[in-house]
Structure 1
Amino acid sequence: MRSPTSRFFCPMALLSHGWARDVGIDIGADGRIAAVTSGSVSATGERLAGPVVPTLSNLHSHAFQRAMAGLAERAGPGDDSFWTWRTQMYRTVALMRPEDIEAIAAKLYVEMLKGGFSRVAEFHYLHHGAGGVAYGDPAETSHRILAAAATAGIGLTHLPVFYAHSNFGGAEPGEGQRPFLHDVDGFLALLDRLAPACREAGATLGLALHSLRAAAPGEIAAILAAETTAGPIHIHVAEQEREVEDCLAWSGRRPVEWLLNEVNVNERWCAIHATHMTPDETQRLAASGAVAGLCPATEANLGDGIFPATAFRAAGGRLGIGTDSHVATSVAEELRLLEYGQRLRDRRRNRLVAGPGSSAGRTLFDAALAGGAQACGLAEHGLSIGAPADFIVLDGAHPFIAAAMDGGEGDTILDRWLFAAADVVRDVVVGGRFAITERRHAADEAIDAAFLRTLRRLQ
């Protein structure tokens, strides 16, 4: 990553109040935006090669799963589903060593940067070795995630995951799940152990409950009563129809209904997927202030279903995007598929828009910017004073982007990027430093070589 630059000059930029031309952005020594000036005539500072937009936060990642992308696309003897995909995931987990986790995560995080993300919330549940054998350092694999984020230069919200059971009612875990498991005391000790490491790395520490299948009510209550991270809290919920059926059989209530009734779900929370909700659940989750964490490419890949985004947004709900299993790794792919899913379900166009004449790209982008920042525990976001100096430079030489700039309609730039020309992220700045320059990372070769070694060992 190059040394920090104190001032940038942008031909166009999407600021907190809208698009502006000839924008100067001054960066403080802390990597945050110190000043923003539009209509600037000064040529000082590094001139950027295209329009500038804030980076998004990727609110849901299982980094190790990037290594198995493409390995679960052969038909089985029956109907393939999330549950058959999970079997392949367990096979991959059984082969992984800590150095593999670091190599995969470093490669993935560079791909995320190139796709337009500057921060990732790592929903990290691969804590132990094969068969559940503990490492000498209980935080070994978390330290590998911290190291990978530092190598890539991406911001990190680290979410160690509590996972104890295979199904509702405290069912005994299966053999493939043993690398994920903790009891309550061990999990709380892990959080305490990671707090200083995350502070030193500049990472935000939160926590995650894997799901209502994997965490029993008493365990959830004990963790929430004792944890002191003050960071985000994430949970998988209502991803699969079978999960809903099992939850009804166990409790007489649906997963989102149970969660909202039994837990103080508020702005700290991110409900990952929440695909299968009734209208009442949709209204209540929106009113809670929690973020719905949507991963459209993974949800499509796994056959999960389509989140009720139009109804959720109409109720004032907050949403953001993640890449989950990483069959896709870019902002454009996830936001495009989010919108297209709503169109396919409704058989109509331009579903997630603010109103007549508004841009689908701009509406999607603004929602994911705010929701992702909240889910990652960021107090400030966007190109505004005090926010981290995290932004994308789109390729001003690309015909779609150049023509949109000439036309002076900034939202068309977003529509062209998200719906017509995904590969236009030229440069990415994180904390005032270039993490990606002309589509390249400074450590691409070394990161790729380590990733290739890992893939060859795991196949």
Structure 2
Amino acid sequence: MASEEPAGQLFAADALLPTGWARNVLLQWDPSGRFTHIEEGAAPPAGVLAAPGPLLPGMPNLHSHAFQRAFAGLTEYRARSQDSFWSWRNLMYRFAAHITPESLEAIATWLYVEMLEAGYTSVCEFHYLHHAPDGQPYADDAALAHALLRAARTAGIGMTLLPVLYQTSGFGGQAPRSAQARFIRSTDNMLSLLERLTPAAQAQGAVLGLAPHSLRAVPPDSLREAVAGITALNPQAPIHIHIAEQTQEVQDCIAWSGQRPVQWLLDHVPVDARWCLVHATHMKPFEYAAAARTGAVAGLCPSTEANLGDGLFDMQQWLAHAGAWGVGSDSHACVNVAEELMLLEYGQRLALRQRNVLASSAHAQVATAMTQQAVHGGAQAAGRNVAGLAVGQQADMLALDAQHVALAGLDAERMLAAHVFASQRSSALHSLWVAGTPRVVAGRHALHDEAARGFVAARGAAIAAD
């Protein structure tokens, strides 16, 4: 048993541990929200809260552009003869021009409430709105970053903040476009920003990392300098980058360097387990093998990749090399853990014309395997101790509702499968805790209504200003 009285404890008849499903599990955590004791086969202690259904680890969301939640659904019409990621991006830039620090905080607060209600317990915020629309810094040059930190603190979600380095509009050092003016920072300025943000991040237990936006947006010398700089500030800081998302990006990179994007990155930058390769959709077999060997995480965002027509990541290639992966909601066309997992599996099924592709082995259940792998990879990408229901990890967890019509009468593993493949996805999520603190009860966050009103007002103002 734990050597001292726990700050919190929970009993679960069924819990998904890193080793698999376990029965009659007692979980205890300390005042910091870290698990100190997890006991299988325990008798239900008197007076201890019992989970209302199977207990799952909280899911890290490894890729988010918070402001884009207010833009979701506004581009679903054909603007030209053949719409693409690039035409969507032009519309997104127009919308981004109307985001203020106040509206960003309102949008992000609602988004993070949505994430918690949908099973995400932490988020990696890939933050590239830095300045006023004309490119001039705000009086507080970190105003928009602070808005995101406040939103995460208000909602109660764990945060990995990844300020984005963005300097050029294309390979070969092309000058940035006017619509990109508020994204631009020099490398020195970015490293200075990270130093200034450190006290605020530490005060709420957030992790600071770095996000070189993409190879087209960060010249080679700047990329190497930035990686060396963040490593000097914190050798464990996560580093995320968009890469090989679009075929045009691949073609442009080959024209510029003679190499494909992932190939170039691995040959020129010391990629390791701190890195998250976001999307990495278009790779050749040798890139899958080489990228997996580095220990980097593949950051997959199935609903956004589908929405933008990116293409499909080859999970069989990646898993053949024991590659780590996690999921993110990216542009937030969808904010739902179970939906991302379902879409990821369905994409592989459509590509391969097979079923249960992401089951870890013969006779394994696909929803269980996906959840365990995505939690592990997401925690690595976040740079936080949120890798599941285990001693030393943060007490981030969620409980399904065993009485939900899609789950009722099933065993725990089938309940998870029904949650992912046979429910309205978030409808069967009953309770959620972050660092042992209840954030969702009976499917609802305490700030749901207030945050929703703030979001609607902020979105309306941005639309009216367009």
TM superposition score normalised by structure 1: 0.97
Shift of 1:221: 1.1
Is the 2:385–2:394 Cα contact (8 Å) retained in structure 1? no
Match of 2:379 in 1: 373
Partners in 1 of 2:83 and 2:263 — Cα distance?
28
What SS class does the counterpart of residue 135 from structure 1 fall into? coil
CA displacement 1:211-242 (0-9 Å, x = unmatched): 00000001011111222133100000000000
Match of 2:281 in 1: 275
What SS class does the counterpart of residue 239 from structure 1 fall into? coil
What SS class does the counterpart of residue 326 from structure 2 fall into? strand
What SS class does the counterpart of residue 111 from structure 2 fall into? helix
Match of 2:416 in 1: 414
* Corresponding position: 1:441 with 2:456: no
What SS class does the counterpart of residue 408 from structure 2 fall into? helix
Is the 2:7–2:30 Cα contact (8 Å) retained in structure 1? no
How does 1:168-187 map onto structure 2 within 5 Å?
168-187=171-190
Partners in 1 of 2:383 and 2:395 — Cα distance?
16
Is the 1:5–1:46 Cα contact (8 Å) retained in structure 2? no
How does 1:38-437 map onto structure 2 within 5 Å?
38-41=40-43, 42-227=45-230, 228-229=233-234, 230-379=236-385, 381-405=387-411, 410-421=412-423, 422=425, 423-437=427-441
CA displacement 1:412-434 (0-9 Å, x = unmatched): 22211111111211111011111
Match of 1:455 in 2: 459
Is the 1:106–1:152 Cα contact (8 Å) retained in structure 2? yes
Partners in 1 of 2:215 and 2:89 — Cα distance?
17
Alignment-mate amino acid for residue 27 of structure 1: W
What SS class does the counterpart of residue 96 from structure 2 fall into? helix
Partners in 2 of 1:135 and 1:311 — Cα distance?
45
What SS class does the counterpart of residue 22 from structure 1 fall into? strand
Give the number of equivalent residue pairs: 452
Is the 1:105–1:145 Cα contact (8 Å) retained in structure 2? yes
CA displacement 1:30-50 (0-9 Å, x = unmatched): 111121122222233112211
What SS class does the counterpart of residue 115 from structure 2 fall into? helix
Is the 1:266–1:289 Cα contact (8 Å) retained in structure 2? yes
Alignment-mate amino acid for residue 85 of structure 1: W
Alignment-mate amino acid for residue 382 of structure 2: C
Shift of 1:117: 0.7
What SS class does the counterpart of residue 442 from structure 2 fall into? coil
Partners in 1 of 2:24 and 2:318 — Cα distance?
37
Alignment-mate amino acid for residue 146 of structure 2: H
Shift of 1:185: 1.3
Partners in 1 of 2:344 and 2:28 — Cα distance?
34
Partners in 2 of 1:358 and 1:50 — Cα distance?
21
Alignment-mate amino acid for residue 456 of structure 2: L
Alignment-mate amino acid for residue 31 of structure 1: G
Alignment-mate amino acid for residue 223 of structure 2: I
Is the 2:60–2:386 Cα contact (8 Å) retained in structure 1? no
What SS class does the counterpart of residue 444 from structure 2 fall into? coil
Shift of 1:380: 5.2
Is the 2:98–2:133 Cα contact (8 Å) retained in structure 1? yes
What SS class does the counterpart of residue 11 from structure 1 fall into? strand
Is the 2:13–2:54 Cα contact (8 Å) retained in structure 1? yes
Tell me how large the CA RMSD over aligned residues is. Answer: 1.2
Partners in 2 of 1:267 and 1:43 — Cα distance?
43
Shift of 1:189: 0.9
Partners in 2 of 1:131 and 1:403 — Cα distance?
58
Partners in 2 of 1:348 and 1:20 — Cα distance?
30
Match of 1:30 in 2: 32
Shift of 1:133: 1.9
Shift of 1:121: 0.3
Alignment-mate amino acid for residue 287 of structure 2: E
Greater Cα offset, 45-54 or 326-335 = 45-54
Partners in 2 of 1:363 and 1:21 — Cα distance?
18
Alignment-mate amino acid for residue 48 of structure 1: A
Partners in 2 of 1:288 and 1:327 — Cα distance?
31
Shift of 1:5: 6.2
CA displacement 1:363-382 (0-9 Å, x = unmatched): 11111011000000024521
Aligned identity (percent) is 46
Is the 1:22–1:38 Cα contact (8 Å) retained in structure 2? yes
What SS class does the counterpart of residue 303 from structure 2 fall into? helix
TM superposition score normalised by structure 2: 0.95
Is the 2:131–2:183 Cα contact (8 Å) retained in structure 1? yes
Is the 2:18–2:372 Cα contact (8 Å) retained in structure 1? no
Partners in 1 of 2:211 and 2:460 — Cα distance?
31
Match of 2:23 in 1: 21
Alignment-mate amino acid for residue 434 of structure 1: P
Shift of 1:252: 0.5
What SS class does the counterpart of residue 46 from structure 1 fall into? coil
Match of 2:3 in 1: none
Alignment-mate amino acid for residue 336 of structure 1: M
Partners in 2 of 1:22 and 1:5 — Cα distance?
20
Is the 1:5–1:433 Cα contact (8 Å) retained in structure 2? no
Partners in 1 of 2:222 and 2:65 — Cα distance?
23
CA displacement 1:437-456 (0-9 Å, x = unmatched): 11111112221111111111
What SS class does the counterpart of residue 8 from structure 1 fall into? strand
Partners in 2 of 1:18 and 1:367 — Cα distance?
11
Partners in 2 of 1:300 and 1:160 — Cα distance?
25
Ranges in structure 2 where 5+ consecutive residues have no aligned partner: 1-5
Partners in 1 of 2:215 and 2:249 — Cα distance?
9
Ranges in structure 1 where 5+ consecutive residues have no aligned partner: none
Partners in 1 of 2:299 and 2:26 — Cα distance?
33
